[in-house]
Amino acid sequence: MPTGDGLLARLMPSGPLAIDTVVALCDAGQVHGNGIVEVTQRGSLQFRGLSAASAPEFARCVVALGLDAGGGAPLIASPLMGLDAHEFADLRPLLAALRAELANHRFASVGPKVSVLIDGGGSLHLDGVPGDIRVQAVPAAEDSRLHVSIAGNAATGTALGWTEPQHALEVIAHVLSCIASRGTDARARDFANGADAQALRTLAHLSDAPPPNPRPPAEPIGVHRLNTGQVALGIALAFGFTEAAVLKRLAQVAAACGASSIQTSPGRSLLAIGLDVNGANELSAAAAAAGFLVRPNDPRRHVVACAGAPACGSARLATRELAPAIAEAAKPLLDGSLTIHLSGCAKGCAHPGAAALTFVGPDRLVVQGCAGDTPHGMAPIAQFIAGLSRLSAQRQSSGIPESSAGLVSRLGAAGVLDAMGAAHG
C-alpha cells in the first residue's frame, strides 16, 4: 500500500518465525525498503519504504522464506497457540483447515479487511483484539464447546452462540459466505444487529447460552510458561516500530540465549520462544538496552503514535519524533488507566478508538474521543507537552485519590483544556 515514505508491506505470520527467517526479513527490509519495521496493534509485521521496483523483490524474498499466506481473510490466532501452558484448547487443526479453505479461494469475494480470530485462550488470549468473526475456547471444566461472536472485541461483539469444535469450520464458512454475499466492502458489523444477527443465530450447529465470562486483560510483556517446560519472553516495540538492524541484532541475541523462534503478538509486541528462565532474563536485559519495552508499566506503552510525517503523506506532525518527549512529560499521568494518542491527521490509523487525550496534527486536541472527532481545543505541540506536566501537577495537588483516567473524566474537556493552558475550540 502507498504511504508517504514509499510502499508498505504487511505480513501476518501464521505461526512462530524461525530466528533465521526473522534475520532474513530484516535484511530484506534494509535492502528493499528504508529499514523501518513495525508491529501493529493486532500483531502484523510491517516493512516500510519499498518502491515500485523493490516491492516485487521483497515479495519474492517473503515467498522464498515460505511466508506466502495465499490470500483470503486475515487469520489472527492466539500468539502461543499450541504452546501456552494455560491454553484451554488446541485449535491448530481448526486454524489449518480454515487456512486451507481460504487458500482454495472459496471466499475470494470477502473484503480484504474481514478478519477471523481463533482464540484458544490461555494467558495470551485475544479478548481485547477486535475482529469480524471470533471463535473462542473456554476452560474445559466450564464447557468444551467454542463460543462464536461477530464484530468488535470479546466485550463489545455480538454473540451468535456456541458450537462443537467439529462444526466450527462450517459455522465460520457460513458467516464468511454471508459477508461475501454483500460485496467486498461488507463487514461483520453489518450483521451485528436486528434480523441479520438473529438469522445467523439460527444456524444448525449453533446453540444459545450466555457468552463466556470476561477475562483479565492479556499482558504480552513478561515471561510466559509453555507446555514444553520452557518459557517465552514478551517484549514490545516502543511506539510500535524499530529499525531492521536493531531487530536483527535482537533476534541473534535471542538465539544465543536459547530461543528457537519469534512470534509477533497483539499489542505491538514480540515473543521469543523456547527459552529457559536464565535465558529470558539475559534477553530481557539486552532488549531493554536496545530500547524495547520489557516492563508492563513502561509509560511508553500508553502513548500511541502513528508513522507521522514525513513517512505518511497525510500527516501534519512528526509523531514518532515527538512521542518520546510526550511519554516523558506525561510519565506521572501514565498509570495504565489512560492512553495518549498522537495522530498525524484526523484518520487516526494507529488508534481508531477513543483515547483520554488525542493530539491531532498540527494543533488540535480531543479529550476522551477519537482523532476524527470535532476538536475540543487548540494548542501548538510545545504547549501540549508543557500542558501534560501541568495536568500531572493538578492531579498530584488535588488531594483526591483517583486514577489519571478518573482525573480526566472529573475535569471534563473544558477542565482539561484549562489545566493544560490550551485554547478552547
Q: Looking at the predicted structure, is the pLDDT value of residue 192 above 80?
A: yes
pLDDT reported for residue 333: 95
| Superfamily holding 300-424 | Sulfite Reductase Hemoprotein, domain 1 (3.30.413.10)
Tell me what the mean pLDDT of segment 4-31 comes to: 94
Amino acid identity of residue 361, one-letter, is G
pLDDT reported for residue 143: 67
Report the distance separating Cα 229 and Cα 62, nearest Å. Answer: 32
Tell me what the mean pLDDT of segment 31-53 comes to: 95
Question: Count of CB atoms within 10 A of residue 208's CB?
Answer: 9
- For 93-118, the DSSP string reads HHHHHHHHHHHTTTTTTS-TT--EEE
Nearest to 104 by CA among 173, 207, 8: 173
Question: Count of CB atoms within 10 A of residue 282's CB?
Answer: 18
Nearest to 174 by CA among 205, 214, 219: 205
Cβ atoms of 269 and 232 within 8 Å: the answer is no
Strands (E) in 266-363, as ranges, are 269-275, 303-305, 340-343, 355-360
Q: Per CATH, is 2-70+220-296 categorized as 3.40.190.290?
A: no
pLDDT reported for residue 313: 83
Q: What is the mean pLDDT of the chain?
A: 93
Cβ atoms of 191 and 200 within 8 Å: the answer is yes
Q: Residue ranges per domain, the chain?
A: 2-70+220-296, 80-201, 300-424
Of the listed ranges 98-112, 118-132, 259-273, 333-347, the least confidently predicted one is 98-112
Tell me what the mean pLDDT of segment 183-211 comes to: 92
Q: What is the pTM of this model?
A: 0.92
Question: Count of CB atoms within 10 A of residue 1's CB?
Answer: 8
How does residue 104 score in pLDDT terms, banded at 50, 70 and 90?
Answer: confident
Tens digit of pLDDT for each residue in 140-175?
Answer: 656 689 999 999 999 999 999 999 999 999 999 999
Sheet holding 231-236, edge to edge: 17-18, 261-265, 269-275, 231-236, 222-225
How does residue 69 score in pLDDT terms, banded at 50, 70 and 90?
Answer: low
